[in-house]
């Protein structure tokens, strides 16, 4: 089961903070990131959470 993150992401297209849910993944550099989709415009959202 994949880990989930629910909280605020910054949408670059809308230029506003959006609250949504996303999956937690580990990037190539070893950082935990949450990846979601903007509920308004559909743009992919990323949030860096910290070291894995």
Which tens digit of pLDDT belongs to each residue from 1-52? Answer: 679 999 999 999 999 999 999 999 999 989 999 999 999 999 999 999 987 6
In the chain, where the domains are located:
4-51
Apex 14 CA angle, 37 and 20, nearest 5: 30
- Dist CA 48 CA 51 (whole Å): 9
Query: In this structure, how many other beta carbons lie within 10 angstroms of the beta carbon of residue 34?
Result: 21
The pLDDT assigned to 2 comes to 77
The pLDDT assigned to 1 comes to 65
The pLDDT assigned to 50 comes to 82
* Nearest residue to 16 via CA among 46, 34, 42, 38: 38
Please state the pTM of the whole predicted model: 0.81
Structure tokens at 49: 């959470």
Largest CA distance in the chain: 32
């Amino acid at each position: 089961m994949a880990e989930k993150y629910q909280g605020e992401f910054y949408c670059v297209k809308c230029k506003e903070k959006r609250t949504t849910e996303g999956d937690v993944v580990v990037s190539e550099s070893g950082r935990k990131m949450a990846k979601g989709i903007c509920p308004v415009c559909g743009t992919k959202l990323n949030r860096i959470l910290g070291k894995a």
